[in-house]
C-alpha cells in the first residue's frame, strides 16, 4: 500500500470516528422527564418540554408516574433513570427532606423574575394554581358564596357541600371561616391548639358535607354532574368542566395559592444537563405558552409582560397580581414540620 493510500485510509477512518463520536454525543444528549400524564402533561409537552429541548439541541423522552412514592422506590433501589420529575410543591418539599431530590443550583437556574415563594431548595416553580371556593351557579347564580365564612354559613347558603379528604389545603379555610385573618392563618396553625381549632371548625360542617373528594378529577366531575352545590378544589379543573357545560363558578377571594414544580431525582444520570434544562423552561415564554392549555398561571412574572398572554385572559389566572393579592401563599415549611400530625388528626376526625 502506497503512503498516499495509507494517508487516505487513515483520514477516512478518522472522519468516520469523528462522525461516530458526534452522533454518539447527540444520542447521549437526551433527558428523561416524568410528569402526571393526561391533558396536563400534553400541555407541558407542547408548550414547555419539546420547545425547550429544541432550543437546547437535545431530545426529551417523556414518561408518566403517580407521584413521589414511585420516585422513592427508584432512589432506594439505586435504579434512577429519570432526570427531571414534575411534582406538587408539598410533595417536593417532603421528597427533598427525605433525600430523594438533588439540591438545585440557582446560579444556573435564573429565577430572578419569579414571584416570591415559588421556588424551594429542591424544586423550581412551573405553574401556579389555586385552591378555591366553587359553587353551582344553578343553585346560587353567578354571585354565590364569596368567603369561607359563607361556605360555613348553611342558613344563608343551604345546600350540599364537598370538602377534601386529605389535610392539604383543608385547615386554612376552616380558620378563615372561624375569623382568623388570612395573613395570620399559619401563625395560628403553628400555635398550640391551632390544628385542633381548625379541625373543630370542620366538624361543625361535617353533617353538611355530602362527599369528601380525593382527586382533582373527582371534584371536577362532582360539579359537572351537579351532585353538590358548593365545593373546594383547584381552579383549573373547574375551568375545564365549565367549558364542557358545567354550571360552576369560583372566587379567588381567600384562595390558597400553590404551585407545581420541577426537581431532579437523587442520582439522576444527567444532572448537569437537567439543571440547564430547568433554567430553560423557567424562561417566561414557555410558561406563558403553557397557560393556553390550562388556567394555571406562570411562576415567572415576566410571562405577564408583552402579548404572549392577552390581558383579559391574564386576569383569569391565579398568579395574576390582582388575583394573588386576594389569596394566601401555601406555607411549605409549615407542612414539612406539621403535616404528619395534622393528617393523623384530620383522618381521625373523618372516621368519628
pLDDT at 176: 99
pLDDT at 30: 97
Q: Which residues contact 334 (CB under 8 A, 6 or more apart)?
A: 186, 189, 190
Q: pLDDT tens across 209-246, in order?
A: 999 999 888 999 999 999 999 999 999 989 989 999 99
User: Which letter does DSSP use for residue 67 in this model?
Assistant: -
pLDDT at 282: 99
| pLDDT band of 22, cuts 50, 70, 90 | very low
All structural domains of the chain = 9-128+259-321 (3.40.190.10), 129-258+329-351 (3.40.190.10)
Spatial separation of the C-alpha atoms in residues 347 and 174, rounded to whole Å: 15
For residue 287, what is its C-alpha cell? Answer: 410558561
CB atoms within 10 A of CB 4: 8
Spatial separation of the C-alpha atoms in residues 74 and 81, rounded to whole Å: 8
Whether the pLDDT of residue 13 is over 60: the answer is no
Q: Give 244-250's long-range contacts (Cβ < 8 A, gap of 24+).
A: 246/220, 247/136, 247/137, 247/138, 247/223, 248/134, 248/135, 248/136, 248/137, 248/223, 248/224, 249/134, 249/135, 249/137, 249/142, 249/144, 250/132, 250/133, 250/134, 250/135
Spatial separation of the C-alpha atoms in residues 268 and 311, rounded to whole Å: 39
Contact 56, 274 (CB under 8 A): no
Whether the pLDDT of residue 14 is over 60: the answer is no
If one compares 26 and 166, the residue with the highest pLDDT of the two is 166
pLDDT at 11: 45
Whether the pLDDT of residue 150 is over 50: the answer is yes
- The average pLDDT across 33-44 equals 90
- The average pLDDT across 111-126 equals 95
pLDDT at 180: 99
Q: pLDDT tens across 191-203, in order?
A: 999 999 999 999 9
- The average pLDDT across 270-295 equals 97
Of 25-34, 64-73, 116-125, least confident by mean pLDDT is: 25-34
| pLDDT band of 26, cuts 50, 70, 90 | very low
- Pick from 205, 217, 214, 216: nearest CA to 161: 205
Give the distance, in angstroms, between the CA of residue 256 and the centroid of all CA atoms in the same chain. Answer: 13
pLDDT at 1: 52
Please state, in angstroms and as integers, the Cα–Cα distance from residue 302 to each residue in 31, 115, 128, 306, 320, following that order.
26, 9, 14, 8, 11
- Predicted structure pTM score: 0.83
pLDDT at 190: 98
Amino acid at each position: 500500500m502506497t503512503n498516499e493510500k495509507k494517508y487516505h485510509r487513515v483520514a477516512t477512518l478518522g472522519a468516520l470516528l469523528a462522525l461516530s463520536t458526534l452522533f454518539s454525543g447527540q444520542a447521549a444528549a437526551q433527558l428523561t422527564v416524568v410528569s402526571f400524564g393526561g391533558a396536563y402533561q400534553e400541555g407541558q409537552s407542547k408548550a414547555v418540554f419539546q420547545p425547550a429541548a429544541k432550543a437546547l439541541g437535545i431530545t426529551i423522552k417523556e414518561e408518566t408516574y403517580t407521584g413521589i412514592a414511585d420516585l422513592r422506590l427508584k432512589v432506594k433501589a439505586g435504579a434512577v433513570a429519570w432526570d427531571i420529575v414534575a411534582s406538587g410543591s408539598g410533595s417536593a418539599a417532603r421528597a427533598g427532606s427525605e433525600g430523594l431530590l438533588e439540591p438545585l443550583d440557582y446560579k444556573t437556574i435564573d429565577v430572578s423574575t419569579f414571584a416570591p415563594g415559588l421556588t424551594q431548595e429542591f424544586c423550581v416553580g412551573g405553574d401556579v394554581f389555586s385552591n378555591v371556593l366553587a359553587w353551582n351557579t344553578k343553585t346560587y347564580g353567578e354571585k354565590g358564596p364569596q368567603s369561607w365564612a359563607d361556605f360555613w354559613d348553611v342558613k344563608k347558603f343551604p345546600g350540599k357541600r364537598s370538602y377534601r379528604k386529605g389535610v392539604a389545603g383543608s385547615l386554612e379555610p376552616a380558620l378563615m371561616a372561624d375569623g382568623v385573618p388570612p395573613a395570620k392563618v399559619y401563625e395560628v396553625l403553628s400555635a398550640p391548639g391551632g390544628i385542633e381549632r381548625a379541625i373543630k371548625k370542620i366538624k361543625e360542617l361535617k353533617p353538611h358535607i355530602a362527599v369528601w373528594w380525593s382527586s382533582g378529577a373527582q371534584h371536577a366531575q362532582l360539579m359537572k354532574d351537579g351532585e353538590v352545590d358548593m365545593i373546594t378544589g383547584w381552579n383549573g379543573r373547574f375551568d375545564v368542566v365549565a367549558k364542557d357545560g358545567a354550571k360552576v363558578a369560583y372566587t379567588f377571594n381567600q384562595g390558597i395559592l400553590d404551585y407545581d414544580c420541577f426537581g431532579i431525582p437523587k442520582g439522576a444520570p444527567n444532572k448537569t444537563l437537567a439543571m440547564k434544562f430547568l433554567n430553560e423552561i423557567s424562561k417566561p415564554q414557555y410558561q406563558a405558552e403553557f397557560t393556553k392549555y390550562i388556567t394555571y398561571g406562570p411562576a415567572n412574572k415576566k410571562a405577564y409582560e408583552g402579548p404572549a398572554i392577552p390581558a383579559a385572559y391574564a386576569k383569569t389566572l391565579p398568579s395574576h397580581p390582582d388575583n394573588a393579592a386576594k389569596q394566601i401563599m401555601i406555607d411549605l415549611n409549615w407542612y414539612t414540620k406539621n403535616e404528619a400530625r395534622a393528617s393523623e388528626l384530620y383522618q381521625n376526625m373523618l372516621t368519628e
